[in-house]
Amino acid sequence: MLKTFPILSRAETTALKQPKEVFSYSRNIEGEWLTDEHISKNEALSYFYLPDSFVDRQYDLQGGFKSFQKIPEQQNVAHFPLYLEAIQKHEQKTGKKVKADIITFRGIMTKLLTLPYNLNKPFQLYAIAFDGQLFIKNDDELDLKVRAEEEAKNNDEQARYMKVCEYGGYKFETLVTLPKPWAECSRKTIENRNKKVVNNYEQYISVVRTGIGKVKTLLAGEVDCVWDYVPEDKHDDILSHYVELKTSRTITRPNQGGDFEKKLFRTWAQCFLLGIKRIVYGFRDENHILKDMEVYNTEEVPVLIKDSNLPSKGPKIVCVNALKWYGAVLEWLHRNIDVTDEQKAYKITYDPGSRTFLLTECIGDESKELRNGGILTEEFKVWRDQLK
């Protein structure tokens, strides 16, 4: 079986199901993954705090680069077994199967949503049906290969620059967050954040039920911090308190503005899918000095991009257009993959050379591997059989 879906396809509606957090899980500095029952949100989340006066301190975002505690790339991918374990523990707690047509990671849906304006990068996904639901995982090996090929094109100076830029994002996160709400932190904790050793081990993952059109999704995605507080009232939507943190170079020329819009579009997609309301960008100069900071409301980004007159390579970005594609492609996948047939596995591929979006059925050993541990764990399968 091989089916293609035209890149120009669009759905008539962009009606999004209101995102709602179902549960969360997190990774600590030791690399251990913990679910809600082992650690509270107050402990797992950090809190945003950086007054304008702190921005004026000219923080160096490459400071401490040599002491960076970086998790190995192979360990920093979206890990499906951990996600399934977290789902299982939630279902054991509630006694109910999570409701969703598609279960996957926010990063995968971001690839699909932004595809109309990101046509030059290939991607490959794998999917299987189980218990009436579609589980989709990323081809992490392909992503690592593409990244390695891109890095190989750089000379030593360019390679170091890219690594420093990557580090600068984590440094910015360390500078603008606190382990507890401001009122509970000592002056020393607040003032010494610039001296803190930076790591990318610690992660907080929010699992959100959402969807578009008729397709319901369960998405897991990383959250950087809390804007103000973690609500105790269950009727207070915690998603509205989350913040996405990003860094970018200061805009000094018109063409740089167009490049930033592309970054902002992708950030909007990440936040929109998970229901995060705020985006904070730290702007650095060519020497990686933090020069400015800007807060964006996620819902206002489509209008900002639409009304912008900055020159940009490629077509003008229209977020509604991307949403119509996203809605169409999810409906197409849901319609063309029989979720009652658990004996098949699928590849979802985008090829930038031919600009084709493909759904193909896996065969032979590849299909067998995907259906037997390649995506779902035996423990999760046994659990779902018990839940029926």
Sheet holding 177-178, edge to edge: 177-178, 47-48, 225-226, 242-249, 278-284, 290-297
3-state secondary structure of 89: helix
Give the contacts of 260 (CB within 8 A, at least 6 positions apart). 248, 251
Return the residue matching tokens 């991918």.
77
- List Cα–Cα distances, 117 to 31, 128, 253, 313, 317, in angstroms: 35, 27, 22, 10, 7
Task: Tell me the residue range of the domain where 269 lies.
Answer: 2-387
Q: Provide Rg for the chain, Cα atoms.
A: 21
- Write down the pLDDT at residue 75: 77
Among candidates 11, 107, 2, which has minimal Cα distance to 328?
11
Contacts of 19 (CB under 8 A, 6+ apart): 208, 209, 210, 239, 273, 274, 275
In three-state secondary structure terms, 297 is strand
**Amino acid identity for residue 117 in this structure:** Y
Using one digit for the tens of pLDDT, what is the confidence trace for 310-345? 777 788 999 999 999 999 999 999 999 999 999 999
Cβ count near 91 (within 10 Å)? 18
Q: What is the pLDDT of residue 73?
A: 77
Between helices 254-274 and 106-114, what is the axis angle to 10°? Answer: 130
Are 217 and 19 spatial neighbours (Cβ–Cβ below 8 Å)? Answer: no
Q: Which residues contact residue 243 at a Cβ distance below 8 angstroms, ignoring those fewer than 6 apart?
A: 48, 223, 224, 225, 226, 227, 276, 278, 279, 280
Parallel/antiparallel/unpaired status of strands 102-105 and 133-138: parallel
- Give me the residues of the chain with pLDDT under 70, please: 77-78
Sign of the C-alpha dihedral computed for residues 190, 195, 196 and 200 taken in this order: positive
User: Distance of CA 284 to CAs 43, 60, 171, 185, 246, Å?
Assistant: 30, 9, 12, 27, 11
Helix (H) or strand (E) holding 101: none
Whose CA is closest to 386, among 133, 95, 85, 81?
A: 95
Number of domains in the chain: 1
Note the pTM of the prediction, 2 decimals: 0.95
Choose among 212, 208, 207, 206: nearest CA to 17. Answer: 212
